[in-house]
Amino acid sequence: MSISVLGAGAFGTALAVSLAQNGPVTLWARDPAQAAQMAEARMNARRLPGVRLPDTVTVTADLDAAMADVVLLAIPMQQTAAFLAQNTGRLAGKALVACSKGIDLATGQGPTALIATTCPGAIPAVLTGPSFAADIARGLPTALTLACADAAAGTALQHALSTPTLRLYRTTDTTGAELGGALKNVIAIAAGVVIGAGLGDSARAALMTRGFAEMTRLATAFGAHPDTLMGLSGFGDLVLTCTSAQSRNFRFGQALGAAGSFDAEATIEGVATARAATALAARHGIDMPVTQMVAALVAGAITVENAVQALLSRPLKQE
Ligand SMILES: NC(=O)C1=CN([C@@H]2O[C@H](COP(=O)(O)OP(=O)(O)OC[C@H]3O[C@@H](n4cnc5c(N)ncnc54)[C@H](O)[C@@H]3O)[C@@H](O)[C@H]2O)C=CC1
Ligand SMILES: O=C(CO)COP(=O)(O)O
């Protein structure tokens, strides 16, 4: 099976580097100048400095040349719907593996639903779980979830995309896998706020636990299996992202909590996902107090002090 990765950001580049251990991989960058620079320097100096691109990675800005049997989509979530719509014909019949984490603001859909509605005939799948691009690219051991509703296709993808250092577990529960990955970013922003505001590690543990409860509430209301939330794509990624300063979502929250500033160019998926999840929760009558607070905080509608006060003054209830 030929493999390509669309999107030459940190994650797309890291996946291409790891997959190149198995054979040839094509990495597509939308900007021809960036593609040429990466091909020449054999490095993605902006997003993944210090990591050499193996000879088996071909970098191109020609999207047609980047079509393969298996196409990994490593572009930010809020750009995905438009990208798919622009390339429906090219992507028809491919196995399309979404590597983004989030909920589309306009439709409330996750990546596999977007693929299914925009690219009929494609096989939608999602690759998610606890993994920093820099760790994958350095060949550190990493375990991820490959979710595909079609069990046979999922098994084939699991084998095609596992490498000596990237171990994939499979599931058919695409809803659980992608909602776990999307919602943990929101909780990671909240965890960052807690640390940035100096509220302490005990408060962070409480917030992660209550955050996990609301992730599970929303995901299961949409048909996810609770076990999926307990796995790599939910609990695993929640732990990683809420506790590591490698996470952009966590660091963004830390800056919010400390009233500091943050790189406006960085991909912080939890910002849009907080809004999208808050809207979904309201529409379906699901209680998601932490997510709501994050949405209000990033919109500048409340202060950190008010958010903490509001969470602490909720009615006492059974765990
Ligand atoms: N960086 C990481 O450690 C991980 C990232 N992810 C997910 O991967 C996704 C991408 O994140 P990163 O690669 O880290 O972001 P990034 O900010 O490093 O790169 C994003 C890339 O997408 C490209 N892009 C943006 N809009 C585009 C469009 N309309 N068409 C084509 N390309 C476009 C940009 O040029 C850039 O190269 C996110 O959903 C993120 O949550 C998942 C796991 C780990
Ligand atoms: O999803 C990730 C780790 O699993 C990456 O997290 P950030 O997007 O917060 O950097």
Q: What is the reported pLDDT for 310?
A: 86
Count of CB atoms situated within 10 Å of the CB of 182: 30
**E strand or H helix that includes residue 36:** helix 32-41
Q: How many Å lie between the centroid of ligand 1 and the Cα of residue 9?
A: 5
- Residues 143, 55 share a domain: yes
What is the interface pTM, i.e. ipTM, of the complex? Answer: 0.99
- Residues 300, 264 share a domain: yes
Ligand 2: residues with CB < 6 A are 101, 130-132, 185, 188, 237, 240-241, 247-249, 269
Give the 3-state secondary structure of 211-234.
HHHHHHHHHHHCCCCHHHHHCHHH
Q: Which of 156, 172, 188 is the last residue of a domain?
A: 172
- Residues 279, 164 share a domain: no
Q: What is the reported pLDDT for 311?
A: 85
- Encoded tokens for 14: 């890291």
What is the tens place of the pLDDT at every residue in 92-120? 999 999 999 999 999 999 999 999 999 98
- Residues 181, 42 share a domain: no
Residue 308: is its pLDDT beyond 90?
no
Expressed as residue numbers, the domain containing 272 is 176-313
- Residues 40, 22 share a domain: yes
Q: Is the whole model's pTM more than 0.90, yes or no?
A: yes
Number of domain units in the chain = 2
For the residues 20-38, what does the mean pLDDT come to?
98
CATH of residue 63: 3.40.50.720
What is the tens place of the pLDDT at every residue in 227-240? 999 999 999 999 99
- Residues 302, 187 share a domain: yes
Give the pairing type, strands 43-44 and 57-60: unpaired
Q: Is residue 250 part of a domain?
A: yes
Q: How far apart are CA 133 and CA 137, in angstroms?
A: 6
| Exposed/middle/buried for residue 56 (C-beta within 10 Å: 0-12, 13-18, 19+) | middle
Share of the chain above pLDDT 70, in %: 100
- Residues 190, 124 share a domain: no
Per the annotation, the verdict on 184 as an active-site residue is: yes
For the residues 129-145, what does the mean pLDDT come to?
98
Give the 3-state secondary structure of 119-171.
CCCCEEEEEECCCCHHHHHCCCCEEEEEEECCHHHHHHHHHHHCCCCEEEEEE
Of 19, 1, 9, 161, residue with least CA distance to 94: 1
